A and B are shown apart, each in its own frame.
Chain A
Amino acid sequence: MTASTLTRDPAAPAAHRPGRRVRRRRENLAGYVFLSPWLLGLLGITAVPMLISLYLSFTDYSPLISLSDASWVGFDNYRRMFTADQSYWHAVTVTITFALVAVPLKLAAALGVALLLNRTMRGISVFRGLFYLPSLLGGSVALAIVWVSMFNREGAFNSFLALFGIEGLPWVNDPDWALYTLILLAVWQFGAPMVIFLAGLKQVPVELYEAASVDGASAWRKFAHITLPMLSPVIFFNLVLETINGFQGFTSAFVLSNGTGGPVDSTLMYTLNLYIKGFVELDMGYASAMAWVFLLVIGAITVLLFSTGRFWVHYSDNEER
């Protein structure tokens, strides 16, 4: 702040500087006052609870006892997680499977539809709206319930298959398939990344395509050599966001399995397992430890994605000119 004062008004007499500072301070103060609802929220709802949960992760705290009665257990919770708890590793496997399959499919679907919708045509905004609709419903409980009834043995999907003489499986009640119905639900809600892709596509200069056309480039080459590189920052953004989202999937798994992660733990997502440990088995210390490991792992994955970014993400302002 002082620096900016100096640079803006180097000729000002020294005696005047404090007066400016006072004004600045006043402004700052007003700023903080206006920020205070948000700051309080950040502290009260996010930062402080997070620190408390960090502390709890080293205790045997249960919601039924008071905080002060929780006893310190050191790294026991973490040790148990990594060495003794089979369900923990099972849930990790389920979650990674979910993210590895759902995220690329969702991004591909979003990009595919965005390409289709990126043209001028009568009523295109209606189509855009329709394709975005599923994600407006978000991670809603109602949607998951609809999904369950669509994909059980007597569901609409099997009736559809029956038209072709195929006898369907009880998808949501089959341990080999239940997770894939959840993946399908996640992929179907591709609206948010699609809209971002669409915005990204609008930014690609038309001249590039025109120049490529003059050179006789095929549609595929235009896509591979113009669209994808120009879109790479947007792809990267969506990839990071959807990966984080993918790891945090909870609602649909909870609804499909009645909160158990069944059938036979096939939909036991990490967050669902965490919920069961904390709120059903009342082992909140352990659940806190799980939450912190989760945070660190998602953080690490995000860092990893960022470090790969420099090999494939092209920011036009760095490269051009």
Chain B
Amino acid sequence: MEPITRGGTPAQRTTRRRLLAAALTVPLLLGAAACGGDDDASSGGKTELSIFWWGAEKRAELTDQALALYTQKHPDVTFKKTWQGNQGYFDKLATLTAGGNAPDIFQIDDNYISEYAGRGVTLDLTPYTQDGKLDVSKFPESLRKYGEVDGKLAGVAMGENTQGLVYNKTLLEKFKLPEPKTGMSWEEFINWAADVSKKAKLPGTQDASAVYQALWVFLRQNGKDLYAGKQLGFDEADMTKWFTLWKDARAKGATPTPDVIHEGNASDVSKQLIVTGKAGTSWVWTNQMPELKKNTEDELGLMAYPGDSKVQWARASLYFSAFRGSKHKDTAVDVINFLANDPEAAKILGTDRGLPPNTDIRKQIAATVTDPNMKQTIAVQDELGKQFGPNPPTVPPQGHSKVRSELVRVAEEVVYGRQTPEQAAAAYVAAAKAAIGAS
């Protein structure tokens, strides 16, 4: 048939086709434009860096102020700040990364740093430390090393913490009970907790069988470790010992009932039994003290985990990492350097993310800090820090978060009486091996 009879004049047809094409492409273009907005951020000498962290409102306030200080000193750099609570943070970060839109700077912890570094998401910061753009020379060596994945610096520690056992001082005073002391053996501690349960009618301690950092300390005290490189550092016998220790503690009445133990196994600070008033002690990290204190009226005490506290180590509570695909890598590194090393910025940030990583600054902060809970954190951490032994653990391998969640699941099987310590030990070793892809 004739084209003319089919579709009007050629001119008409092209107009219509164009219209159709336009109708189809306009939304696509709009979508593309929305995604590509970052490219133009640097035009006109201005740089906008995206930065993403998790935390509470206090942290957001402090970080805002510290970043504002950076902008004050570098007026051409501004920030697109995003923050949220802990839950869902890593989902969001993974989704952003999948879309190629990872923030220029993001907060990360030892759960995921190997995951992100191993897959090349984080910028290798080692060259920046060599040409002086990033100064980690004032960091304790163990803390700096705790940010290295496969020999490359993947994250700059923004705070230092270590295991801390927090106990309810008010409760102990009320019932004239002795305070627990750093250096107590596990047996002594559990007996103490059983005694508290009896006299104060409140479970003496949260059951730590599902608390990975407690297991980790326990393993190190027994000459083992959670990891040996990219393999597990423990075996079924160790796990049987661990699960049995807590089974006995439950039998002695040192811990709450299974459902309460389960509640306390949530990672949320506000759900720790010490602040919900359901146990006399909780297993936390030293830098969580101010946040814990905010959730309770009672006086809190802080000590190391039971057993030999020399096996504890200076852990990076969290890091800032830069995105390898960032368009402003140098600026991003400079901001991280500023947050870690600038005395004024550090003064603003305080110990919210943990003890400042830069030891010079740490001394200044310790001298000026007024918050009694921060003071307590610093005092305990300093005291423990002096005794930290050699061979601190290196950063956990890929699959660490799964190793943790599996511990909660398997330990609770024993807590609820569904498995014996031996069965659970076998199940856990198998699950943890699978999680880190070890043989």
Q: Which residues of A contact B (CB under 8 A)?
A: 18-19, 21-22, 25, 29, 32-33, 36-37, 40, 44, 62-66, 152-153, 170, 173-175, 258-260, 262-265, 279-282, 284
Q: Is B418 in contact with chain A by the CB < 8 A criterion?
A: yes
B7 to chain A, nearest CB (A): 7
Residues of B within 8 A of A260 (CB): 405, 408-409
A-B contact pairs, 8 of them (CB 8 A): A36-B23, A64-B94, A64-B116, A64-B121, A66-B100, A258-B87, A262-B408, A263-B412
Q: A33-B20, A40-B24, A262-B409 are in contact. Are A173 and B262 (CB under 8 A)?
A: yes
In the bound complex, how far is the Cα of B121 from the Cα of A66, in angstroms?
A: 10
Contact A18 to B6, CB < 8 A, known contacts A63-B94, A64-B94, A258-B266: yes
Contact in complex: A36, B401 (CB < 8 Å): no
Most A C-beta atoms less than 10 A away, residue of B23, B31, B120, B259: B259
Residues of A within 8 A of B6 (CB): 18, 21-22
A245 to B: closest C-beta gap in Å: 24
For A33, list chain B residues within 8 Å (CB): 19-20, 23
User: Which residues of chain B in 252-279 are interfacial with respect to chain A, using CB atoms and an 8 Å cutoff?
Assistant: 257-260, 262-263, 266, 268
Cα–Cα distance between A18 and B3 once the two chains are bound (Å): 10
Residue of A with least CB distance to B410: A264
In the assembled complex, the Cα of A21 lies from the Cα of B8 at a distance in Å of 11
Q: Which residues of A contact B87 (CB under 8 A)?
A: 258-259
Give which listed residue, A65, A174, A280, A284, contacts B259 with CB less than 8 A.
A174
Query: Which residues of B approach A to under 8 Å, CB–CB?
Result: 1, 5-8, 16, 19-20, 23-24, 27-28, 31, 87, 90-91, 94-95, 97-98, 100, 115-116, 119-121, 257-260, 262-263, 266, 268, 401-402, 405, 408-409, 412-413, 416, 418
Q: Is the beta-carbon distance between A40 and B16 smaller than 8 angstroms?
A: no
Interface of B is mostly: helix
CB closest chain-A residue, reference B96: A63
B5 & A19 in contact (Cβ 8 Å cutoff):
yes
Q: How far is the CA of A170 from the CA of B23 in the complex (A)?
A: 58
Contact between B412 and A64, CB atoms less than 8 A apart: no
CB pair A22 B8 closer than 8 Å: yes
Residues of A within 8 A of B100 (CB): 66
Contacts of A170 in B (CB 8 A): 257, 259-260
Residues of B within 8 A of A265 (CB): 409
Known: A64-B119, A280-B91. A262 touches B20 (CB 8 A): no
B91 vs chain A, min Cβ distance (A): 5
| Cα of A79 to Cα of B147 in the assembled complex, Å | 36
12 further interface pairs, Cβ-Cβ under 8 Å (given A65-B120, A175-B412, A259-B87): A22-B5, A22-B6, A22-B7, A33-B20, A36-B24, A36-B27, A260-B409, A262-B412, A264-B413, A264-B416, A265-B409, A280-B91
B2 nearest CB across to chain A (Å):
8
Nearest chain-B residue to A176 (Cβ)?
B416
Whether B115 lies near A64 (C-beta < 8 A) is yes
Give, as a whole number of angstroms, the nearest-CB distance from A118 to chain B: 42
Q: Are A29 and B27 also in contact (CB < 8 A) when A22-B6, A22-B7 are?
A: no
Residues of B within 8 A of A280 (CB): 90-91, 401, 405
B112 CB to closest chain A CB (Å) equals 9
Please indicate the chain B residues that have their CB under 8 angstroms from the CB of A62 in the complex: 119
A170 to B415 alpha-carbon distance, docked (Å): 15
| B403 CB, nearest partner CB in chain A, Å | 11
Which residue of chain B is the closest to A39 with respect to CB atoms?
A: B24
User: In the complex the two chains form, what is the Cα distance from A173 to B257 in whole Å?
Assistant: 11
Name A281's contact: one of B97, B259, B401 (CB within 8 Å).
Answer: B401
CB contacts (< 8 Å) of A174 on chain B: these are 259
B27 touches A40 (CB 8 A): yes
**How far is B167's CA from A182's CA once the two chains are assembled, in angstroms?**
35
Q: How far is the CB of B56 from chain A (nearest CB, A)?
A: 17
Residues of B within 8 A of A63 (CB): 94-95, 97-98
Shortest C-beta distance, B99 to chain A (Å), equals 9
Min CB distance B133 to A, Å, is 25
Q: How far is the CB of A157 from chain B (nearest CB, A)?
A: 14
- Given A22-B7, A262-B408, A279–B94 Cβ distance below 8 Å? yes
Expressed in whole angstroms, the minimum distance between the Cβ of A271 and any Cβ of chain B is: 14
Q: Report the separation of the CA atoms of residues A263 and B1 in the bound assembly, to the nearest whole angstrom.
A: 72
